């Protein structure tokens, strides 16, 4: 197997590379411009392996991938502009850049001699238009009809870029797998995520302090990154059943943000009182993938419990970020 992972130095990309390294006979190239990813000990350990290469490259530069080989068996396209901050501040860039990156990855895939699979990371938010206009079933299957939300609303630019990306996959003529990640979490996911955000707040509170929890009653399912990359690896290397569009996540348990906050507090072990904060606008009250199709195709369901996943995540953040002194270590 020779695998190129765009956005490979990022959160999911780095863990996915580690998972693929469990197989014999694999070479992995991680391509990233380090817009969000950082050079850290995790990446250094990957780079030190003889069968891993790191290509520091901006996918949006003209001809960025022209010098890359034509013998990749798998191309995994994870690079994207992600995150609410970018979406709200630079909606045009989100649309333009995510499509530009997608075309660069697809053009490279089209000139491969023996490509077995093109994998594209879409998003759970792809059903947001349907949710707004008609409501959706919970758990939500991949067959949910997709409605286009108001394209003038900045918040929809990210999902529109992913919707267009999925459509490109369908019409690319390539063997493809689109995954729709649902709240994947774990070490090295940055600081703009509910788990490290809650942890930072708890750590800053005095013993007996009050933790304000936003959208406390909203319900989510969280997927620990080791489970997510196991599913991705199985889908990527699986047969025809593993082609098409798949939810990537955990179906149960569904937990409230309050319960997630409690899990963080329990792990840190501080006596803190949880109080309900405001509800975040635009945040769906429930999000939960129907994992039936994915489980049937890849024969695997998430194994890591919420307490275990939060524990492992916070152990990592404590060692590499909170003690080490900041986001540059993420």
Ligand X SMILES: NC(=O)c1ccc[n+]([C@@H]2O[C@H](COP(=O)([O-])OP(=O)(O)OC[C@H]3O[C@@H](n4cnc5c(N)ncnc54)[C@H](O)[C@@H]3O)[C@@H](O)[C@H]2O)c1
Q: Provide the binding-site residues for ligand X, judged by CB under 6 A.
A: 7, 9-13, 32-37, 58-60, 78-82, 101, 121, 123-124, 181, 183-184
Specify the residue, 60 or 274, whose C-beta has the smaller distance to ligand X: 60
Nearer to ligand X, 18 or 211 (CB): 18
Q: To the nearest whole angstrom, how small is the minimum distance from the Cβ of residue 39 to ligand X?
A: 11
Q: To the nearest whole angstrom, how small is the minimum distance from the Cβ of residue 91 to ligand X?
A: 15
- Minimum CB separation from ligand X for residue 206, in Å? 32
The 3-class secondary structure across the chain, one letter per residue, is CEEEEECCCCHHHHHHHHHHCCCCCCEEEEEECCCCCCCCHHHHHHHCCCCEEEEECCCCCCCCCCCCCCCCCEEEECCCCCCHHHHHHCHHHHHHHHHHHHHHHHHHHHCCCCCCEEEEECCHHHHHHHHHHCCCCCCECCCCCCCCCCCCCHHHHHHHHHHHHHHHHHHCCCCEEEEEECCEECCCCCCCCHHHHHHHHHHHCCCCCEEEECCCCCEECCEEHHHHHHHHHHHHHCCHHHCEEEEECCCCCCEEHHHHHHHHHHHHCCCCEEEECCCCCCCCCEECECCHHHHHHHCCCCCCCHHHHHHHHHHHHHHHHHCCCCHHHC
When CB distances to ligand X are compared, the closest residue is 10
**Nearest residue (CB) to ligand X, 101 versus 168:** 101
Between 101 and 211, whose beta carbon lies closer to ligand X? Answer: 101
CB of 269 to ligand X, least distance (A): 27
Residue 56 C-beta: closest distance to ligand X, Å: 9
Give the residue with the Cβ less far from ligand X, 187 or 265.
Answer: 187
């Amino acid at each position: 197997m020779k695998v190129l992972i765009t956005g490979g130095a990022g959160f999911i990309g780095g863990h996915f590379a580690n998972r693929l390294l469990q197989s014999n006979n694999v070479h992995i190239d991680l391509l990233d411009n380090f817009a969000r990813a950082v050079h850290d000990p995790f990446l250094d350990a990957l780079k030190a392996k003889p069968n891993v290469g790191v290509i520091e490259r901006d996918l949006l530069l003209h001809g960025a991938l022209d010098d890359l080989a034509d013998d990749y068996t798998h191309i995994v396209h994870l690079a994207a502009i992600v995150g609410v901050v970018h979406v709200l501040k630079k909606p045009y860039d989100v649309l333009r850049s995510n499509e530009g990156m997608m075309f660069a990855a697809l053009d490279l895939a089209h000139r491969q001699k023996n490509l077995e699979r093109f994998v594209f990371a879409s998003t759970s938010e792809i059903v947001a238009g349907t949710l707004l206009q008609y409501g959706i079933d919970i758990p939500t299957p991949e067959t949910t009809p997709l409605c286009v939300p108001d394209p003038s609303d900045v918040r929809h630019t990210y999902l529109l870029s992913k919707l267009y990306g999925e459509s490109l996959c369908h019409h690319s003529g390539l063997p493809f797998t689109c995954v729709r990640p649902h709240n994947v979490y774990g070490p090295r996911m940055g600081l703009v995520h509910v788990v490290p955000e809650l942890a930072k707040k708890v750590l800053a509170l005095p013993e007996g302090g009050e933790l304000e929890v936003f959208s406390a009653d909203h319900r989510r399912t969280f997927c620990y990154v080791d489970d997510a990359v196991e599913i991705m690896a199985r889908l990527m290397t699986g047969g025809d059943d593993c082609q098409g569009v798949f939810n990537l996540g955990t179906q149960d348990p569904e937990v409230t943000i309050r319960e997630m906050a409690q899990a963080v507090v329990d792990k840190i072990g501080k006596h803190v009182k949880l109080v309900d904060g405001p509800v975040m606008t635009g945040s769906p009250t429930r999000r939960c993938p129907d994992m039936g199709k994915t489980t049937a195709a890849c024969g695997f369901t998430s194994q890591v419990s919420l307490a275990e996943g939060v524990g492992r995540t916070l152990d990592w953040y404590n060692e590499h970020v909170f003690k080490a002194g900041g986001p540059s270590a993420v």
